[in-house]
Chains A and B, each alone.
Chain A
């Protein structure tokens, strides 16, 4: 087990380093950020002074080394647009992204697991058919368009919910539905198929044979065993889920990390792009790692050498 953890930590370190380097190279190739910052009337001397101040006149490897040393300390530089440390800007936005992600995941799990369990228990019934339509429809749905549709229906036509922004529960409803739709097909299909697998196991027959109420069999015996692949797949798809959050945030102008990084890309605010990218990637790698560990805890048959 400890060897496995050590190996994962090394991998985590390597991935983070590779991402930081890739981000650095991409930004380096993209041209001169100073030209975007100065007014049209700036003289050559002023531009040069600014380039010096940002260390852009030094050789590539020195810039890289300085960038790395700072990055390790959590210093990604100062946002060109906001004038604040980039990392702080990203950190400020994390609660909003978490709120959206959590609301979306809870909604998706309730719908996905609920419908998935029912379709598995009542195979080929109308609810199974409805579940199939839901899974297919939400899988084919471009969620940013769904977001726009929700805005058209509930904000423009019915005027019952705000079209964008973050605040209380009212602002959360439409983005959460959008976000959930993105994750429903995965959860629904997986719940249904793993439920099938578990449904016919010997220990389920035993549980029924010893006279346990159906409620206990479904919730304790079946759901707990079906939860293992579910947790794993959700954990392994954390990057995808984050991608869905980024898409949702842009549609609803939700002030999270996703919309921050997209704004940063449009304004060529490189320190913010780097900080956001690295924070997002590290969180994905960490979640994948924790998923592996949870997997071992949930299923004692799995042991890592």
Chain B
């Protein structure tokens, strides 16, 4: 998809305000020039804000049950109860508060899983691409073996056999999603290591490990950032799916996927228990995808995927 078309770039606006004359740093100006970036950062910041400040902004304790207040609809429904903006769940817990705390849980799971996957995948990709030869054959054989596995099934099988839980979920998500980094980083390293600056460093007698660390790695950081932002979105969805199956984060801890799991049984009674957490997931993953797309266009306008 192309970068934002030229017409947005003539005057600097944010939503409906004209900001052309407002003084600000150049980096901020660049962000605001892209509608993609503005919306992406807006959605992701909202989720981050909820996650970080859950203690202060959540109106209720997410675990507090009120038996007289079960399955109340959100405020736009006439049957809504005052004080519970987005209604209550089957145990009379406040949905808004659980969604705010759920942001924290979902984001932590996704972020740690992405970190584990990126470190593993990038490491393997750097080694395979840089050293080549049998190291490359062995590592890529392993990676391709992993890639041929339907990840969802692999993760579900492990979760089912090892048993569900917060830590297990993070580990399983992280350790089943690294090959994508390996593939991307390896192919970049293969190109990079043939370039003149690497040759020059080698001619100067720089040690191989230093070339890899100081000259190659900084050049793949852009790709890592793009991939990681798109993968964070995927991890949020995966967390939600596993928790939705009952294999992920366990009740009563609120995560977005967990709320879907709880709401599944009440789909005919109060569908908002499914609709609302889903909207939170969708907007966050949309935001991450927008940021990823924007970064990709920024770093390399010719890259397609």
Binding site for B on A (CB under 8 A): 14-15, 18-19, 23, 26-27, 29-30, 123-124, 132, 135-137, 139-142, 144-145, 148-149, 151-152, 156, 189-190, 192-193, 239-240, 242-243, 246-247, 250, 258, 261-262, 265-266, 268, 273, 276-277, 280-281, 284-285, 288
Docked Cα-Cα span, A261 to B161, in Å, equals 12
Provide the B279-297 mask, 1 if CB < 8 A to any CB of A, else 0: 0011001101110010000
Establish whether residues A239 and B148, one from each chain, have CB atoms under 8 Å apart when the complex forms.
yes
Q: How far is the CB of A277 from chain B (nearest CB, A)?
A: 6
Known A-B contacts A18-B145, A189-B305; the reply to A151 vs B161 at CB < 8 A is no
Residues of A contacting B290 in the complex (Cβ-Cβ under 8 angstroms): 136
User: Are B152 and A277 neighbours in the complex by a CB distance under 8 Å?
Assistant: no
A240 to B177, CA, bound (A): 12
Given A265-B156, A265-B160, A281-B149: A152 and B274 within 8 A (CB)?
yes
Residues of chain A within 8 A of B245, CB atoms compared: 250, 262
Give the nearest-CB partner of B293 in chain A. A136
List of 4 A-B pairs having minimum Cβ-Cβ separation, nearest first: A265-B160, A243-B152, A140-B286, A145-B278
B190 at the interface (CB under 8 A from A): no
What total of chain B residues lie within 8 Å of the partner, measured CB to CB?
Answer: 42
Query: In the complex, what distance in Å separates the CA atom of A280 from the CA atom of B79?
Result: 48
One of B162, B233, B285 near A30 (C-beta < 8 A): B162
Stretch at the interface among B50-58, B89-97, B201-209, B236-244: B236-244
Q: Which residue of A lies closest to B247 (CB)?
A: A265
CB–CB A144/B241 < 8 A = yes
What 0/1 pattern do residues 238 to 261 of B give for CB contact below 8 A with A?
001100110000000000000010
Given A281-B149, A284-B150: A145 in contact with B260 (beta carbons within 8 A): yes
Is A266 touching B267 in the complex (CB atoms < 8 A)? no
A62 CB → nearest B CB, Å: 22
Q: Is the CB of B260 within 8 A of A148?
A: yes
B2 touches A137 (CB 8 A): no
Residue among B260, B271, B281 with max Cβ neighbours from chain A (10 Å):
B271
Residues from chain B with Cβ under 8 Å of A23 in the complex: 157
Chain A residue numbers with a CB within 8 Å of B15 are none
Q: A152 and B275 in contact (CB under 8 A), knowing A144-B244, A250-B245?
A: yes
Question: Within 8 Å CB of A280, what residues of B?
Answer: 150, 153
Q: Decide yes or no: A124 and B148 within 8 Å by CB, A136-B286, A189-B305, A265-B160 being known contacts.
A: no
> Chain A residues near B153 (CB, 8 Å)?
242-243, 246, 258, 261, 276-277, 280
B289: chain A residues within 8 A (beta carbon):
136, 139-140
Contact A142 B237 (CB under 8 A): yes
The complex places the Cα of A142 from the Cα of B256 at a distance, in Å, of: 12
B27 at the interface (CB under 8 A from A): no
From known contacts A140-B289, A145-B274, infer whether A265 and B161 are also in contact, taking CB-CB under 8 Å: yes
Does A243 lie within 8 Å of B151, measured CB to CB? yes
Among the listed B162, B268, B286, B288, which residue makes an inter-chain contact with A137, where contact means beta carbons less than 8 Å apart? Answer: B286
- Contact indicator per residue, chain B 119-151, by CB within 8 Å of chain A (1) or not (0): 000000000000000000000000001011111
Contacts of A192 in B (CB 8 A): 1
Which residues of B does A touch, CB under 8 Å? 1-2, 5, 145, 147-153, 156-162, 233, 237, 240-241, 244-245, 260, 264, 267-268, 271, 274-275, 278, 281-282, 285-286, 288-290, 293, 304-305
Label chain B's interface by main secondary structure.
helix
CA distance A189 to B289 in the complex (A): 14
Give the docked Cα–Cα distance between A23 and B154 (Å): 10
* Least CB distance, B269 to chain A, in whole angstroms: 10
Give bound CA distance, A243 to B147, whole Å.
12
Q: A135-B1, A193-B304 are in contact. Are A148 and B278 (CB under 8 A)?
A: yes
Decide if B162 touches A152 in the complex (CB within 8 Å).
no
Contact of B1 among A26, A140, A145, A189 (CB under 8 A): A189
Chain B positions within 8 Å of A132 at CB level: 1
A247 to B241, Cβ gap below 8 A?
Answer: yes
Given contacts A18-B145, A136-B290, contact A124 B285 (CB under 8 A): no
Contacts of B286 in A (CB 8 A): 136-137, 140
Q: How far is the CA of A19 from the CA of B290 in the complex (A)?
A: 36
- Report the bound CA distance from A262 to B155 in whole Å: 11
Smallest CB separation, A123 vs chain B (Å): 8
Q: Would you mind naming 7 contact pairs between A and B with Cβ atoms under 8 Å apart?
A: A15-B145, A23-B157, A136-B289, A140-B282, A152-B274, A246-B150, A247-B152
Q: Which residue of A lies closest to B160 (CB)?
A: A265
Q: How far in angstroms is the closest Cβ of chain A from B103?
A: 15
Q: Report the minimal beta-carbon distance from B138 to chain A, rounded to whole angstroms.
A: 13
Determine the distance from Cα of A246 to Cα of B241 in the docked complex, in whole angstroms: 11
Assess the A19–B156 pair: CB atoms within 8 A.
no
Q: Which residue of B lies closest to A274 (CB)?
A: B157
On whether the beta carbons of A239 and B274 are closer than 8 Å, the reply is no
In Å, the complex CA distance between A257 and B256 comes to 27
Q: A29-B161, A246-B150, A288-B148 are in contact. Are A142 and B1 (CB under 8 A)?
A: no
Whether B157 contacts A273 by the Cβ 8 Å rule is: yes
Give Cα A18 to B148, complex, Å. Answer: 11
Question: Does the CB pair B148–A277 fall under 8 Å?
Answer: no
Instruction: Determine the distance from Cα of A26 to Cα of B245 in the docked complex, in whole angstroms.
Output: 20
What residues of B have a CB within 8 angstroms of the CB of A265 in the complex?
156-157, 159-161
Question: Smallest Cβ distance from A250 to chain B, in angstroms?
Answer: 7
Q: Which residue of A lies closest to B6 (CB)?
A: A124
